[in-house]
């Protein structure tokens, strides 16, 4: 399989991955605020946020028309649009780009929905390799308890109801997230994701992230000033 390659742009790309309830978005938001406070030009990009396909995705979900293949292709289109018009230009400009979910989300979710793993990986072979990809590892029951305390129910596709795992949305959601977690655990060694213990206190996780990110930024600075 053709793998993505290290980009040679002056900017840096940091991404977070994990199942729902892992706390990845909170950690990325804290990192974003901190980097801006330290004077870094920092930009945020979120999975499934391209205006090109947003309306189509919403209509498909509302009418429950999305098949596993259409889901996969819509998300790939979203990603392609963002990487061409947002992520790559910003990396070329020297910005620090932070992504809440990257291609590994597709590698996990699409495969759980029945898509061939190699096909999905080929679909995203145009992606650039992140500087660091953080994976927030958390026990399934802990993640589910966090979600249940902060939400009123789960949505149809979010719960994997299209897969007919269970007639009960809560049970379906638990099965679906468990399978996604299994796929993530395969992805971590395959793509050398940096695992973070998401059960640790928020400030401890953030400190670990900052140390790793700062080391990468300092390394880039040394390379730029080297004779």
Q: What are phi and psi of 99, to 5 degrees?
A: -115, 125
Question: Is 3 contained in some domain?
Answer: no
User: For 32-41, what is each residue's pLDDT tens digit?
Assistant: 999 999 999 9
Task: Give SS3 for 215.
Answer: helix
What is the pLDDT confidence band of residue 223, given thresholds at 50, 70 and 90?
Answer: low
Give me 136's structure tokens: 């927030």
Name the domain count of the chain.
1
Cα 114 to Cα 38, 79, 171, distances in angstroms: 44, 20, 19
Question: Is 51 contained in some domain?
Answer: yes
Confidence check: pLDDT of 214 > 60: yes
Residue-wise DSSP of 104-123? HHHHHHHHHTT--HHHHHHH
Question: Is 175 contained in some domain?
Answer: yes
Question: Is 20 contained in some domain?
Answer: yes
Task: Give SS3 for 140.
Answer: helix
Question: Is 65 contained in some domain?
Answer: yes
User: For 136-157, what is each residue's pLDDT tens digit?
Assistant: 999 999 988 888 887 777 788 8
Entry pTM: 0.91
139: domain CATH number is 3.40.50.300
Handedness of CA 162, 166, 172, 176 (dihedral sign): negative
Range of the domain at 121: 12-214
* Of 4-13, 181-190, 218-227, the least confident: 218-227
């Amino acid at each position: 399989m053709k793998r993505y390659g290290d980009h040679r742009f002056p900017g840096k790309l940091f991404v977070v991955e994990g199942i729902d309830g892992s706390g990845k978005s909170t950690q990325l938001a804290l990192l974003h605020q901190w980097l801006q406070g330290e004077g870094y030009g920092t930009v945020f990009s979120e999975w499934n946020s391209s205006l090109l396909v947003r309306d189509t995705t919403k209509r498909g979900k509302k009418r429950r028309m999305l098949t596993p293949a259409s889901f996969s292709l819509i998300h790939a289109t979203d990603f392609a649009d963002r990487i061409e018009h947002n992520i790559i230009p910003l990396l070329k400009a020297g910005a620090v780009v932070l992504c809440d979910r990257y291609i590994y989300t597709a590698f996990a979710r699409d495969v759980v929905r029945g898509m061939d793993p190699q096909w999905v990986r080929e679909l995203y072979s145009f992606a650039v390799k992140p500087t660091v990809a953080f994976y927030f590892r958390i026990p399934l029951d802990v993640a589910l308890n966090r979600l249940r305390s902060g939400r009123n129910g789960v949505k149809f596709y979010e719960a994997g109801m299209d897969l007919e795992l269970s007639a009960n949305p809560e049970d379906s959601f638990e099965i679906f997230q468990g399978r996604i977690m299994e796929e993530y655990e395969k992805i971590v060694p395959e793509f050398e994701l940096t695992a973070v213990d998401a059960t640790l206190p928020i400030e401890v996780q953030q400190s670990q992230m900052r140390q790793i990110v700062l080391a990468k930024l300092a390394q880039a600075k040394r390379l730029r000033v080297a004779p």
